[in-house]
Amino acid sequence: MMRKPEGKTILVTGGAGFIGSHLVRELAEANDVRVLDDFSDGRREWLDDRATLVKGDIRNADAVEVATEDVDLIFHEAANVSVEKSIQSPIESHETNVDATLMLLERARDVDARIVMASSAAVYGSPESVPIRESDLKTPTSPYGLEKLTVDHYVRLYSDLYDTDALALRYFNVYGPRQGGGQYSGVIDVFFEQARADDPITVHGDGKQTRDFVHVRDVVEANCLAALDGTPGEAYNVGTGESISIRELAELVRELVGSESEIVHTDPRNGDIERSRPSVEKARRDFGFEASVGLKDGLRELVIEGF
């Protein structure tokens, strides 16, 4: 049984999206849950019937004020999570990921709510070594990564300066049901699509790049545990603590689909990070988080249930 908040009035921004919709479903069992979403990425059919919808843009001050009225707890999942979009439209991405988040922090301060922020492994850029610890050097390689790092600094600052009850969770590569077309684990989508069609599975470079893929159910649990016991002002890695090479991932997808696809290697992508694997010791120590869904089991679930 997952430990989670109970008897609270909770806002989930982006609650009709990939991660947010799973979080809402879990929280709605024992809480009064509101969702702030404009369906720019989320889907109405993913919205839990037990939640109250405030339809609006996270950048709209009036919508944020209505959604946060008298809340005890905020989970901030709404964001532009597209690295490519942040490169193409950095000002718009900054408005969504930094300006809107700062406004939400101000509202959390006003209504005295605890707030759990969704951050990203993108804050680290190309790590010097693995496993990556929260205190390691951070050199983002995209506006998106820099935006998330800025938010992490605001979380710490608001905690120190205003005693705001805020913390951040740095997600690694999140996958699971409803991920289709999303940015968190796009390589899984691509590999499944190619394998199901028996088309060549294309791997950029030598395929030795490593990633930590963490199931969305584990991410939901990390949020719930952090809301209960996380330390204000802190940022926490959320992953499994294990990694797989992209070549091995392609082979695993091919096996699970039962595909006859050939795995082919194409030119490496500029700026592709070679190694990514977090230390999750801090989250384990502070609030007892331990990922429980193995990658093979999680991918098999996608084969059976779809995206």
- Which residues have a Cβ under 8 Å from the Cβ of 96 and sit 6 or more positions away? 58, 59, 78, 79, 80
Active site residue 144: yes
Helix axes 216-229, 18-27, angle to 10 degrees: 60
Contact 117, 166 (CB under 8 A): yes
* Candidate list 124, 144, 175, 236, residue with the active-site label: 144
Task: Go through 16-47 and write b for each residue having 16 or more CB atoms within 10 A of its CB, e for each that does not.
Answer: bbbbbbbbbbbbbeebbbbbbbbeebbeeebb
Q: Which strands, in side-by-side order, build the sheet including 114-120?
A: 52-55, 32-37, 9-13, 73-76, 114-120, 166-171, 235-238
Distances (CA, A) of 225 to 65, 194, 229, 232, 255: 26, 37, 6, 13, 34
> By CB neighbour count within 10 A (0-12 exposed, 13-18 middle, 19+ buried), where does 65 fall?
middle
Would you please indicate which residues are annotated as catalytic (active-site) residues?
144
